[in-house]
């Protein structure tokens, strides 16, 4: 959908923002990214048997490389933006598993700690900047807080997904866990349309919830039949999801390319 003509400040913020518009396609790509983070993270730590500590280091390195590229651009670059999102989901997968299993904190303690972490980051962001952004990220300060919030929220989302699905948590299984988080996302969408709750609060709530949805979907694809999964190969599943995600990014890019400000906003 083409972007309409905007008044002065809104036009400037839209052009200078380094993040995509929040549309239905944004959320579809986000769910692909979080599912890829689950299957890709498990492929490195489990299929390749590198372990959670080594896997976390590998994905942290990938995160910092992609983030450095994203920050270096002066305008929104769709492929590098989504590469950083995937990096945060893979880091979130391995870091959450490291907290839960290697350190032995368990899903409940890890979720509480990470939830407090998200609140602390958002509180500091609000205190320093005066406002929590999610769509018009135009300053280096807001960009740093934006990606830090995403990194912590994706780690939290992984822990929540495991807690809901695992028999040491709510024991919902992967399919019912996915339905639970999909239902919560629908609830957040309803709150957006029918209440006056802050868009920033609802955006970050939905952002957290898409991570456990992706985690449970990823586990549904790759876990053994006896555990309620489809037992697809982690590498094969990751490759298929990556292709779908790239297609989604291309579609979103082409739609945004129809904006009257596309030549000023987009960088490829």
pLDDT value of residue 204: 94
pLDDT value of residue 61: 92
Q: Does pLDDT of 5 surpass 60?
A: no
What is this structure's pTM?
A: 0.87
Q: Looking at residue 72, what DSSP letter applies?
A: H
Instruction: Report how far apart, in Å, the C-alpha atoms of 133 and of each of 16, 68, 206 are.
Output: 14, 20, 14
Instruction: Compute the distance between CA of residue 215 and CA of residue 201 in angstroms, rounded to an integer.
Output: 22
Q: Does pLDDT of 236 surpass 90?
A: yes
Q: Name the pLDDT band for 157 (thresholds 50, 70, 90).
A: confident
pLDDT value of residue 253: 86
Q: Across the strands, what pairs with 47?
A: none
Q: Name the pLDDT band for 93 (thresholds 50, 70, 90).
A: confident
Domain map (residue ranges) of the chain: 20-263
Average pLDDT, the chain: 86
DSSP helix, strand, coil percent of the chain (3-state; round to 5): 75, 0, 20
Q: Across the strands, what pairs with 266?
A: 76
Of 228, 215, 243, nearest to 42 (Cα)?
215
Residue 228 half-sphere exposure toward CB, CA atoms < 13 A: 16
pLDDT value of residue 169: 81
How far is CA 40 from its chain centroid? Answer: 14
Of 215, 228, 226, nearest to 40 (Cα)?
215
Mind spelling out the 3-state secondary structure of 206-228?
HHHHHHHHHHHHHHHHHCCHHHC
Task: Give the SS3 label for residue 266.
Answer: strand
Q: Is pLDDT larger for residue 182 or for residue 266?
A: 182
Q: Does pLDDT of 257 surpass 70?
A: no
CA dihedral of 217, 222, 224, 225, whole degrees rounded to 10: 60
pLDDT value of residue 192: 95
pLDDT value of residue 190: 97
- Which residues have a Cβ under 8 Å from the Cβ of 194 and sit 6 or more positions away? none
State phi, psi for 266 to the nearest 5 degrees: -85, 140
Instruction: Compute the distance between CA of residue 131 and CA of residue 123 in angstroms, rounded to an integer.
Output: 10
Q: Does pLDDT of 94 surpass 90?
A: no
């Amino acid at each position: 959908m083409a972007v309409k003509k905007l008044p002065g400040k809104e036009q400037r913020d839209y052009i200078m923002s380094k993040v995509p518009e929040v549309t239905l396609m944004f959320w579809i790509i986000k769910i692909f990214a979080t599912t890829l983070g689950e299957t890709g993270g498990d492929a490195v730590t489990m299929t390749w048997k590198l372990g959670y500590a080594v896997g976390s280091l590998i994905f942290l390195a990938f995160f910092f490389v992609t983030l450095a590229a994203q920050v270096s651009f002066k305008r929104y670059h769709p492929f590098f933006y989504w590469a950083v999102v995937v990096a945060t989901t893979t880091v979130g997968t391995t870091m959450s598993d490291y907290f839960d299993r290697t350190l032995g904190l368990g899903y409940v303690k890890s979720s509480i700690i990470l939830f407090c972490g998200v609140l602390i980051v958002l509180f500091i962001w609000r205190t320093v900047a005066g406002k929590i952004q999610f769509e018009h990220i135009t300053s280096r300060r807001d960009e740093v807080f934006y990606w830090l919030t995403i990194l912590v929220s994706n780690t939290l989302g992984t822990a929540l997904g495991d807690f809901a699905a695992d028999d040491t948590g709510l024991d919902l299984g992967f399919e019912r866990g996915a339905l639970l988080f999909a239902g919560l996302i629908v609830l957040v969408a309803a709150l957006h349309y029918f209440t006056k709750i802050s868009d920033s609060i609802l955006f970050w709530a939905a952002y957290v919830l898409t991570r456990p949805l992706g985690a449970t979907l990823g586990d549904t694809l790759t876990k053994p039949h006896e555990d309620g999964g489809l037992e697809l190969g982690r590498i094969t599943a990751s490759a298929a999801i990556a292709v779908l995600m790239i297609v989604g990014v291309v579609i979103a890019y082409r739609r945004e390319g129809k904006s009257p400000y596309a030549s000023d906003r987009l960088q490829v």
